[in-house]
Amino acid sequence: MTDKEPGGDADTAPDNVELMEPKKMTRFKVNKVDLSLSSPEELNKLCDIPEDPTTNYAKSFRHFTREALPRLDNYRNIMSIQAVYRPTLDDLHEDNSAAPPCKSTSVPIDEDPETKQEQLGWFRGVYIKNLIHLWGIIFYLRLTWTLGQAGILEGLLIILTSSGLAFVTALSVSAISSNGLAQGGGAYVMISRSLGPEFGASIGLIFSFANSMLTSLCIIGVSELVVTSFSLHLVDGGVQDIRILGVCVIFVLLCVALTGVTMGYRIRLAVFVILFLSILNILVGTILSTLSPPTSPNTGPPDRGLHGFSLQLLEDNLFSSYSPGNDFFTVLGVYFPAIIGFLNGANCSKELKDPCCDIPKGTLRALLTGTLSYIVVGLTSAAVMVRSVNPASSTSSSEGLTPPTTGLNATLVTDSSTVVYGLRNYFESLELISAFSPLFYLAVLTSGVLCALSSLQEAPRVFRLLAKDGLYPYMGWFGAGSTWRPYTVTTGIAVVFILVGNLNALAPLIATPFLAAYALVNFSVFHASLIKPIGWRPTFKLYNMWLSLSGAILCTVVMFLICWITALLTLILILALYLIIVYRKPDVNWGSTAQAQTYRSALEAVQGLNHVEEHVKNYQPQILVLTGLPSARPALIDFASLISKNISLLICGHITKVKVPDTLRKSLYDKARHYLSVHKIKAFYNHVDEDEFDVGAKALLQCSGMGKLKPNLLMMGYKTSWTQATRQELQMYFNVIHMVLDNYKSMCILRVRGGFDYSSVLADTDVVLAKSGVTTPSESLSRNVSASQFSHASSSSDSVTSVHTSPHLNHETNKHHQHHDGKHLHLHGSEHLHNGGDGKTNNNLSKVHPVPAFPAPIIVAKKSKQDLYKAKDGSELPKELFNTITQFQRKQYKGTIDVWWLYDDGGLTLLLPYIISTRHQWSSCKLRVFALANKKEELEFEQRNIASLLAKFRIDYADLILITTITRRPHEETVEFYNNLVQPFLISSEPPEETGPAPGPGDAFTISQSELAVLRDKTNRQLRLRELLLENSLDSDLIVMTLPMPRKNIVSAPIYMSWLEALTRDMPNFLLVRGNQTSVLTFYS
């Protein structure tokens, strides 16, 4: 095609496809895209859909579909400036053709401040930084001492043991760092985000403490070198001068740290070059000491133990020669801090180009280089220098002389005439070996100061992160405001340990917390590999779960071998901090392996139940209680919790009449979960949206739970408003009873004085806690926010709606949540269909408010019950009303529970009141059992039989009463009461077949005379029971009675409800129970 042909211009030429002979190439080829070429103006131009369809293919494809293409920005944390929000299901699924096309919400890449920083590779960002810390104070001042004390063989074992533990931990760190984009924060973030806040918070606090101690170690090493080598004499020329100089140094470094100065790459590179040259200087010095002729002890300078390379020296220094008070593990404790710097490169992952690849490469290679340098320098030093020599007497010995005191009260000897030289006695032996001594001093000073400054900055950073996470009480002040706040704590700790003034005494104390941190890092990798959550997919494959477990065990063992007292105190502190977190239960979501373990354990337990055969001895009442939102009916859920508490399943069912948007559904779940958590009720919440109440109840009953953990009992409140209800409402309520029995489940109906539904009176729990100064969790998740994104969520980027002030929604709800028919959303819930005893239908729903998406932690302070229940205006509830709402939470003193065990339904009518009587609120109440006698003449025999049965059931009771007059005709007053009850519903003859409401009061059912005549005997029986209840149980605290059986196609809804009304009206709290005719009690062992 030529340039003159149509479509051959430069704009469209790239879109033309010519059929050519295929070339051999790789299967997949991805070209790099220069995102910087797209300016904001160009991006906005791409958002405009062209009117000419012939030019569509010259534009970006993503502007012709609402679907989001797979891109990295879709998965970023929503606080990231580059985060992009993919469309919701509603955006894609609903008919939004009238809506204008959405503009891009992404921000140009070049505006991200993070991308302006120079990104470093593994060598500059990790390798160099780690080696600077590995070639630190211990390397220069205690390596030769380690070889002098332990000898070559045991010295190499100490080096390899320390490096081996570090290498295993480095493999674990590499696995963690390659499992997703590293967030920074060092070992604290690694452990806390892997193992969870329980272990992460405790080790984070200890890790911050250990970094403060490491600052002291570096400063003490620098001060020791200055005092001993430069003969500094301020007070005593020893420990006191080290303390004074160390305190001065740390305050100078503190001023540098507070100014925000960080050691940039060029400074680190310069220090690295100095350290590398100093090591070459040492190796050159060993060669020169071998080439130079030995000096005469009479005419030459005093012998300092440097004799040049000799096989005899290697043989003399081969085995250990510990000074008094030292052994293998004390020397290991002094040496171990030499290798704790191998994780420093992982602390600054944000500076790296590819942290998932750079951290493993740099860490492992730096650790290997550092280990080899320790071995080489240690062997060459042992080959050219004797173990101990006294220049005053010019005697050298492989066994060594008694060195100066190295305890806490040591006095360093700075007089050159009395200094004892040699590997074991002279800490600056590498200075004697070096070809150029000033380079040795420069290396020690620069390395010590840089490591001290780095640790001084790292300790408050970890402490500040811990405070910001809000895991421990009274730490929030350190995480907010200026950065100097955490510095006050960590610097104070460092000053305290500087006053120790002895490097040998401080080093083992530092080794313990770092070993504990390494043990937990290894354990976290083992735990993740064992649990194998879906999110555990490290790209680093060289780790092994059993190697990590071995590393965790060895770190713990070595920690105790070095200093068992410090190790024991560390473990006790970790345990104490762990218990604090377990008790407080902070609301954090880090996707830890502990969460995966909880899920797996729960899943395995539920699956294991499938293989457990059901037995009557193990029967548990697993309750589905129709509460609506739990906060709407506190008394109903409190009563259900009395039965299920600590022994069985409890599910709160909520039915709404219209489809609820996903955002609001999440809000309902969050509110219900928060209410249950605040009130310490162990229950679950389940919600369905169904226009018909009985269909929704059936869905809840059949679909709630899993496996053997499914409801076997449905409980609901008595419908006191049944006389004012419409035919449909009454029939649906009545159908629920039939539905439960059809599914072979048990049925309970509870009626209390004052009713259940107080949603129109009570303020929302979240509002009450907020006014009390208690932080509550966010009510819903932002759209498109995953669990990992939620942990760093921000509220400024998305509009989220949730129920904020009431368990209902107002008619003036946000238009964003409109039903497909154009009407506003109304959340009637199950309360719209069965009211909790007050006869009111609460259809008014409070307004949906936007809430922040950032998850504030739950900090539930201890509140009295009065503080948890407030009126809508925030005032205290009247005492009588408060007592009614909390009646099942209060202690019942010397009351009675009357059990009317009329018919044998399997024993549930007897079991439930027994369970209630075992709760501490009802433990002072006695059980009275009422039963029906078959024959008056056999009353004594039947009473003995029932008493024997109760004894075999091992149920304690105070009294047993048999009813012999159940067949007696009810009194005229009772009959008149019932006639007045059903009079508004009576008709003279059968109504014609109808599709609309029958004639009667409003839209209610009607009752025919023929229906009353057919059921007269059963009706009289219920009325006679009412008389017996008034006679015997009017003063009891709770009545439990067998629920009358509604026969299908015989008993209608109005007749049945009139029976229940006759039994329960003007009675104490009344529980009607009907089992499924399966035994729940047994007298067999």
What pLDDT score does 149 carry?
92
As a residue count, the chain comes to 1085
- 958 pLDDT band, cuts 50/70/90, is very high
Q: What is the pLDDT of residues 871-890, one digit of tens each?
A: 767 778 888 888 888 889 88
Regarding whether 132 and 161 lie in a shared domain, the answer is: yes
Mean pLDDT along residues 416-444: 84
Regarding whether 970 and 852 lie in a shared domain, the answer is: no
Residue with the two structure tokens 């500040």: 464
Regarding whether 876 and 908 lie in a shared domain, the answer is: no
Please indicate, yes or no, if residue 59 is contained in any of the structural domains.
Answer: no
Regarding whether 687 and 650 lie in a shared domain, the answer is: yes
Please indicate, yes or no, if residue 70 is contained in any of the structural domains.
Answer: no
Whole-number average pLDDT of the chain: 78
Q: What is the pLDDT of residues 977-1025, one digit of tens each?
A: 999 998 888 875 444 444 444 433 333 468 888 888 889 999 999 999 9
pLDDT at 640 over 90: yes
Please indicate, yes or no, if residue 63 is contained in any of the structural domains.
Answer: no
> How far apart are the C-alpha atoms of 638 and 886, rounded to whole Å?
8
Q: Compare 842 and 521 and report the one with higher pLDDT.
A: 521
Mean pLDDT along residues 14-20: 39
Regarding whether 691 and 579 lie in a shared domain, the answer is: no
Q: Which two tokens stand for residue 103?
A: 């503009």
Q: Compare 934 and 1044 and report the one with higher pLDDT.
A: 1044
Q: Compare 417 and 1026 and report the one with higher pLDDT.
A: 1026
Q: Which of 35-39, 151-155, 841-845, 935-939 has the lowest average pLDDT?
A: 841-845
Helix residue ranges, H only, 659-709: 662-678, 693-703
Please indicate, yes or no, if residue 471 is contained in any of the structural domains.
Answer: yes
> How far apart are the C-alpha atoms of 273 and 271, rounded to whole Å?
5
Which residues are 994's β-sheet partners?
none
- 76 pLDDT band, cuts 50/70/90, is low
Residue 1052 region by backbone torsions, left for phi larger than 0, else alpha for psi between -120 and 50, else beta: beta
Which residues are 653's β-sheet partners?
626, 686
Q: Compare 297 and 281 and report the one with higher pLDDT.
A: 281
Q: What is the pLDDT of residues 342-388, one digit of tens each?
A: 888 777 777 788 888 888 999 999 999 999 999 999 999 999 998 88
Regarding whether 524 and 436 lie in a shared domain, the answer is: yes
Please indicate, yes or no, if residue 600 is contained in any of the structural domains.
Answer: no
- 89 pLDDT band, cuts 50/70/90, is low
> How far apart are the C-alpha atoms of 497 and 508, rounded to whole Å?
13
Please indicate, yes or no, if residue 535 is contained in any of the structural domains.
Answer: yes
What pLDDT score does 879 carry?
84
Instruction: Give the chain's end-to-end CA distance (angstroms, integer).
Output: 95
Q: What is the pLDDT of residues 455-469, one digit of tens each?
A: 898 888 888 888 888
pLDDT at 955 over 70: yes
Q: Which of 73-82, 258-267, 784-793 has the lowest average pLDDT?
A: 784-793
pLDDT at 25 over 50: no
Q: Which two tokens stand for residue 197?
A: 């806040």
Which residues are 984's β-sheet partners?
none
Q: What is the pLDDT of residues 658-709, one digit of tens each?
A: 888 888 888 899 999 989 988 889 999 999 999 899 999 999 999 999 888 9
Q: Which of 104-108, 481-485, 714-718 has the lowest average pLDDT?
A: 104-108
Percent of the chain with pLDDT over 90: 37
Domain closes at, from 584, 608, 638: 584
Percent of the chain with pLDDT over 70: 73
pLDDT at 853 over 50: no
> How far apart are the C-alpha atoms of 124 and 126, rounded to whole Å?
6
Regarding whether 952 and 872 lie in a shared domain, the answer is: no
Regarding whether 635 and 562 lie in a shared domain, the answer is: no
pLDDT at 712 over 50: yes
The CATH number of residue 1008's host domain is 3.40.50
Q: Compare 562 and 116 and report the one with higher pLDDT.
A: 562
Mean pLDDT along residues 200-221: 88
What pLDDT score does 109 carry?
39
Please indicate, yes or no, if residue 94 is contained in any of the structural domains.
Answer: no
Domain closes at, from 584, 607, 637: 584
Q: Could you tell me the residue range of the domain that residue 695 belongs to? A: 619-885
Please indicate, yes or no, if residue 512 is contained in any of the structural domains.
Answer: yes
pLDDT at 14 over 80: no
Residue with the two structure tokens 């067999």: 1084
Burial tier of 1078 (Cβ tally within 10 Å: 0-12, 13-18, 19+): middle
Query: Which segment, 39-53, 409-423, 484-498, is predicted with the most confidence on average?
Result: 484-498
- 756 pLDDT band, cuts 50/70/90, is confident
The number of domains in the chain is 3
* 1008 alpha carbon, distance to own chain's centre: 61
CA-wise closest residue to 888 among 916, 909, 927, 929:
916
pLDDT at 578 over 50: yes
pLDDT at 822 over 80: no
The CATH number of residue 156's host domain is 1.20.1740.10
pLDDT at 779 over 80: no
Domain closes at, from 885, 918, 948: 885
Mean pLDDT along residues 818-828: 37
> How far apart are the C-alpha atoms of 135 and 370, rounded to whole Å?
7
What pLDDT score does 395 carry?
52
Which residues are 851's β-sheet partners?
none
Q: What is the pLDDT of residues 895-911, one digit of tens each?
A: 899 999 999 989 999 99
Q: Which of 96-110, 162-176, 703-717, 1057-1071 has the lowest average pLDDT?
A: 96-110
Sorted by sequence, the CB contacts under 8 Å of residue 294 that are 6+ apart come out as 307, 308
pLDDT at 103 over 60: no
What pLDDT score does 996 carry?
43
> How far apart are the C-alpha atoms of 366 and 915, rounded to whole Å?
65
What pLDDT score does 565 carry?
93
What pLDDT score does 471 carry?
83
Regarding whether 509 and 531 lie in a shared domain, the answer is: yes
Regarding whether 983 and 900 lie in a shared domain, the answer is: yes
Regarding whether 287 and 179 lie in a shared domain, the answer is: yes
What sign has the CA pseudo-torsion 793, 795, 800, 806?
Answer: positive
Regarding whether 1004 and 877 lie in a shared domain, the answer is: no
